[in-house]
A and B are shown apart, each in its own frame.
Chain A
Amino acid sequence: MIRLEGIHKQFKGPVLRDVSLDVPAGCIFALIGPGAAGKSVLFKIVAGLVEPDAGKVFVDEDEITALDALALNVVRRKIGYLFQNYALFDMTVAENIAFPLRRLFDLPEAEIQERVAERLERVALPGTQQRIPASMSGGQKKRVGVARATIARPPIVLYDEPTAGLDPVTSQKIYDLIREEQRSGDTTVMVISSDVSGVLTIADRVGMLHEGRLVFDGTADEARSSEIPVVRQFVHGLTEGPL
């Protein structure tokens, strides 16, 4: 479960204004909105990477905005995070995926190798352990990122633009993967996506940010039939409207 209460964040100008939302456990929550609406900042606040200027963030029962660094690290272990631009390290695919296990858990090497192979099978990249991410396509890097974000079996996973820059077929494969991962692990998932039609196919709930405010929070069907002008224009990709 993730709960945000009255989140404000300002950098040079206001980025998030009084954002409150609830993401129930076991739900896929899609966060949509135009560019620079504050979506990625909201994710970083949920993961404790950025501190809000005001408001509270709860991850399960922990109010992460009130935790010290050590306690925050314990909460972060519950969260898998796929970054928009992959954020893969300059090491092999296997080393990238195994990184959280090696650093955070005292597991035998054989088990680590086994879990890396299982993750790579799961993301349809078997046998790529020794490849370097720089030599892979965008879709493959995304899938390596998904494998790394989920190898420690976190109960919460944040996907920031998992399909940005990918072709429609690869995008749908990534969405299917996210859905399968969520079902197999009964995880709570938040997804940021500019591909509205794609993400609505897997989302249980949808939130839309516009100019730092949460202007919509409802089901995928409610988003499709919303009469709120900005939501209607964004969800249906209309050229005429307030955006």
Chain B
Amino acid sequence: MDTALTVRSLRAYYLTRYFGITREVRAVDDITLSVMRKEIYGIAGESSCGKSTFIKTIAAAVRPPLRVLGGSIKYSFLDRDLYDLNEKALADMRWKHLSCILQGSMNVLNPVRRVRESFKDFAFPHLGLARREFFDVVNQHLGRLHLSPSVLSAFPHELSGGMRQRVAIALATVCRPEFIIADEPTTALDVVVQKDVLALILETQREIGSSMVFVTHDLTVHANISNRLGIMYAGRLVEEGPTGDILHDPIHPYTRHLVASLPRIGDLTPKKALSGAPPSLADPPSGCRFHPRCPLAMDICRQANPELTPLASGRRVACYAVGPLVKPAADSAAAPQATQADKSAAFLQ
């Protein structure tokens, strides 16, 4: 299968410096993943685990104090690394090849201008059509999302939350981009509208055949939309695999907890909540970042960081306690490096 996006050992930290004291917040720490063409890759994790930072990084929306310190991001539609592009090339690429659906659609649309102006700003330069034809295309596209052309002359506050989110989807997909990034697009919506919006996202994605990174903390949403799922914890990817496999047979202790705590109708068994709080990314725990809350923590977990290791079934997991990971001797660093090399080799195939 073709890959649409390849991210390798990406690190992005927030670096702040006040009065000579430098603080770094390791929001994205050594993430390696790839997204296939026409695939929906889900990313799940709690708040402050670095999901949004990861998205900013792959969307080239990095502003200080966030800085990308290492790694590479390659899109199939670009011949170079994302960060080798200049401003103009980035502007040409955005919306045409890579677009975003964000959480608060109120914040995406300018509140004091009509929706039409937003379409003109974002999409008009990319489609290269005359004005009349451009609006024909836009109207047709709005129709596909069950919106009437009259929303173009409305102000954002005149639309309901669900309609606004659909306008944001229309905006992101009108140029038929190869890659769409969706950051919690349904979190602010209630259940009825959520289902409709998800259906539309899926329909549109299938129709234009784009790849997608879909971020939300809600695993039930992932169950319904994502093909593959990556679980993030404290800036790192801890488990990855086909969504069904992860939900049926979670391997990592954190994923197991997430899956076990899902409420279902018809199920009254008491659900346990995870003790403790997510770690501060400014001062993450040593070794595996999950160990302070992990029921299976061992000595090795406090000292060494488990690498994300591939399993036979196409899944990857980063855990000493349950994974197939070779437990490295505390004094030699050779073993984990070997697995890293193997992993990269396996990954590139």
- Note whether A and B form a binding pair: no
> Which residues of A are at the interface with B, using a C-beta cutoff of 8 A?
none
> Which residues of B are at the interface with A, using a C-beta cutoff of 8 A?
none
